[in-house]
Amino acid sequence: MGTAWELTKVLREKIYKYASYPQTSVSLRQMVQFGPNPSPGSIFLASQFIVEELPIRLALKVKDLENAPLGLSKMPSTIKVKNWYAQSFEELTDLPKPIISEQLLELLNSNGNLHKQYQLSDSSTTKFIQDDNTIVEETTNPANSEQDNPAINNVFSDDGIVVRPSTNTFTHSSNQVPSMGVSSKLRSESPTFGKTYFTSCPVNIVWPKEVYDYNKQVFDALSKIKKRHDATVATMAQGVQEWKQDNETIHVNSSIQTFLDRFYMSRIGIRMLIGQHIALNMSQASQAKTKLTSFLNGNNSKAGGKRTNYVGVICTDCNVGEIAEDAIETAKYICEEYYGLFDAPEIQLIAPGNDINFMYVPGHLIHMLFETLKNSLRATIEFHMPKLKAEMCAQDPDLKFEDIDINDLTFPPIKVIISEGSEDIAIKISDEGGGIARSEVPLIWTYLYTTVSETPVLEPEYSQTSFKAPMAGFGYGLPISRLYAQYFGGDLKLISMEGYGTDVYLHLNRLSSSSEPLP
């Protein structure tokens, strides 16, 4: 599939046109307004928004990749990623628009707060309905958008989220159009001009079949696109590796670093929209099944009750301690498998007596903690293993260094300390893994920097869903984790004592008044 696909001149021109439109920010508050039991009508309107907003973001990605600095755009893996985005753009803009009857329009506007764009069944003209109910004809065709499915049960899912713009330190790309500098003409021509992701609609009414059909159509399109883009991070890593080999360099150039930061940051936003929308569709479908089960089995059915604190992929009452425990267990399992250990080094969780709960995306938090803990475990084992073996040999001269089993060694514990403040929740991961030389600390935030001698090689048909997480080697764990933290309005910092160990500080913004940091 996709081998015969090509980026045509006509499609490229269309992509560049969409790349000139301003993106529409989606706030965390809008994300959770759907509630745990979203209305099919609200999802219907959100589907239209998504199908019009995502092509703008995808177009910007294609344009950025075509203009990647210093020849990175010419690398085979970079071209592959660019074509994925272009193909997804094409699929979404080709998605048929729903035909909305006057009756459905009345249902959608029954709360009196509708200000979306529709195509009425008796008219071929696209209309924009404003808050004062006046109708303004638009001359442009809204685009359709794609999304990725955030496998809710996959703890390594890397869907994006939204954050306060004040924390965004990224500079604008010359190939992107900041919303503040967009002309009024471009702004009004944008398919998502004047629209919002969430619109309130009644829950307890019978929605017509076309609402469910369109929601499923968008859900299926986004799910397909999600699979296509699952391997983007690793494939771009290969593109950077190809660039390094071509340029015979060890480290990533600063302009490449800046480009990758911006590229992955915007990818988080795209995947958040995709992941959240697919999850909302899934929860809405689950809600319908639950109601049917409740009706058939009586009103005492508790089906689906466990996830009432979830709105899509966002947990409104996320327990930091529980997620830390999950990350600890996962990191220890990977460590034990990699080193052949019966028991990985101890990881002590130090948290306040009371639970710390706040609104967050659990999949992101466990991802950041897992990556950090994995580094600490590896550093602890590889720093102390030769020292501990040498000590055992000194105590028993008959003992050979190479014959000592790693399971006979006792490693110092790693500490995970959780603290709660009025603005932030802070997590410190403290290890005694020997630390990092001060000259190398800046390098750990650069892509493809790793202390592993051999970087894992990806198969040609690599798929993130089937990929087994390595103990180390790609050099992407910390840079990507820091982007996740910053996208949430937080940060990830590292302080090292060479010869002793490293402390990593993860700051999480607990304020829900966050909106996307659009480039």
Q: What is the DSSP string of 291-317?
A: HHHHHHH-TT--TTGGGTTEETTEEEE
CA-to-CA distance for 88 and 228, rounded, in angstroms? 8
Cβ–Cβ under 8 Å, residues 426 and 508? yes
Q: What is the pLDDT of residue 305?
A: 43
Cβ–Cβ under 8 Å, residues 320 and 351? yes
Amino acid, single-letter form, for residue 175: N
Cβ–Cβ under 8 Å, residues 263 and 257? no
Residues belonging to the active site: 367, 371, 374-375
The confidence band for 427, taking pLDDT boundaries of 50, 70 and 90, is very high
pLDDT at 171 over 70: no
The confidence band for 99, taking pLDDT boundaries of 50, 70 and 90, is confident
Q: Round the average pLDDT of the chain to a whole number and report it.
A: 80
- What pTM value is reported for the model? 0.79
Q: What is the pLDDT of residue 182?
A: 55
- Where are the alpha helices (H) located in 202-319, listed in sequence order? 209-229, 232-247, 254-297
The confidence band for 11, taking pLDDT boundaries of 50, 70 and 90, is very high
The domain 314-509 is placed in CATH, from the list 3.40.50.300, 3.40.50.720, 3.90.76.10, 3.30.565.10, at: 3.30.565.10
CA-to-CA distance for 322 and 480, rounded, in angstroms? 23
Cβ–Cβ under 8 Å, residues 20 and 186? yes
Cβ–Cβ under 8 Å, residues 115 and 129? yes
Determine what percent of the chain is predicted with pLDDT higher than 90. Answer: 52
Q: What is the pLDDT of residue 272?
A: 92
Average pLDDT over residues 488-516: 88
The residue ranking higher by pLDDT, 137 or 192, is 192
Q: Hey, where are the domains in the chain?
A: 9-97+205-296, 314-509
Q: Kindly indicate whether the domain formed by 9-97+205-296 is annotated with CATH number 1.20.140.20.
A: yes
Average pLDDT over residues 409-418: 97
